[in-house]
Amino acid sequence: MFKKLLRKKTNSKVTTINESVDLVKEDKIPSHIAIIMDGNGRWAKKRALPRIAGHHEGMKTVRKITRCACDLGVKVLTLYAFSTENWKRPKSEVEFLMRLPEQFLNSFLPELMERNIRIEMIGVMETLPSHTQKALKYAMNATKDNTGLVLNFAMNYGGRAEIVMAIQQLMKQVEEGELAIDDIDEACVNQYVMTSHLPEPDLLIRTSGEVRLSNFMLWQLAYTELWFTDIHWPDFDEQCLVEAISVYQTRNRRYGGLKGEETN
């Protein structure tokens, strides 16, 4: 399907990722792409490796996809790195996952600076281990003046918890007489979600064959285009990202209306 779509645009076969990137850039690029990075453990199991080997390989994929998104002109890339439910995993695995941000950011920071990429995070920072917090805060501070791609990690994040926190903030305003209940609308909630300063995702990608949101950005994904693949995250590469965007470019985003269709 991917090659078919690209051939429709060019009538020629794509042979390199650079050609693919150039072709897909001829059409509208999603401003904000969100990815549920699933399948590290299954990738490792298939190879008779420990789960942590899958997570380590998945970290390499983050670098590849970040570079490609930057080259494509994506404005925001949000990666679901660790959910509030992931604390239920074995202690040794959680401890390994909490070390990954430090490894990734320390080694990748020079390139992030060179590429003008800014690091951000959504989720609850305060309950992460101190070494994880330190690595994230250092990278966020070092890149805060960068004006290119926003690489936004969802760490210790849950969509329902985010909505609850937004409601609590609104209730506080109501209690203090700053806001009337009848004045609460979607715009009020938008002010208090963790991505209030970012555009809502245009495209959600989930790898590894699961077809669900898993408590990820439940408020923000209301009108997001969804794309699912059976490919495990460590095997997800630049061509996969270009394929997802190419499919996105064929979608007719109506937002509940009749855009692009007959209205009678």
Task: Classify residue 259: in a domain, yes or no.
Answer: no
Q: Which two tokens stand for residue 168?
A: 């609590």
Task: Classify residue 51: in a domain, yes or no.
Answer: yes
Q: What does the pLDDT average to over 131-136?
A: 98
Task: Classify residue 233: in a domain, yes or no.
Answer: yes
In this predicted model, what pLDDT tens digit does every residue of 90-101 receive, in sequence order? 999 999 999 999
Q: What is the pLDDT of residue 1?
A: 44
Active-site position among 22, 71, 86, 215: 86
Q: What does the pLDDT average to over 183-205?
A: 97
Q: State how far the Cα of 43 lies from the Cα of 56, in Å rounded to an integer.
A: 11
To the query of whether residue 86 is one of the catalytic residues in this protein, the response is yes
What are the percentages of helix, strand and coil residues in the chain, rounded to 5?
50, 15, 40
Q: Which two tokens stand for residue 54?
A: 């899958």
Q: Is 22 exposed, middle or buried (0-12, 13-18, 19+ CB in 10 A)?
A: middle
Q: What is the pLDDT of residue 151?
A: 98
- Number of folded domains that form the chain: 1
Q: What is the pLDDT of residue 264?
A: 42
CATH number at residue 145: 3.40.1180.10
Tell me which of 33-37, 241-245, 255-259 is least confident.
255-259
Task: Classify residue 183: in a domain, yes or no.
Answer: no
Q: pLDDT band at 32, cuts 50/70/90?
A: very high
To the query of whether residue 38 is one of the catalytic residues in this protein, the response is yes
Amino acid at 198: L
Task: Classify residue 136: in a domain, yes or no.
Answer: yes
Task: Classify residue 68: in a domain, yes or no.
Answer: yes
Q: pLDDT band at 147, cuts 50/70/90?
A: very high
Q: What is the pLDDT of residue 14?
A: 53
Task: Classify residue 228: in a domain, yes or no.
Answer: yes
Task: Classify residue 76: in a domain, yes or no.
Answer: yes
- Taking residue 183's Cβ as centre, other Cβ atoms within 10 Å add up to 12
Q: What does the pLDDT average to over 175-179?
A: 96
Q: What does each C-alpha distance from 67 to 128, 130, 260 come to in angstroms?
A: 27, 28, 33
Range of the structural domain that residue 231 is part of: 26-157+199-248
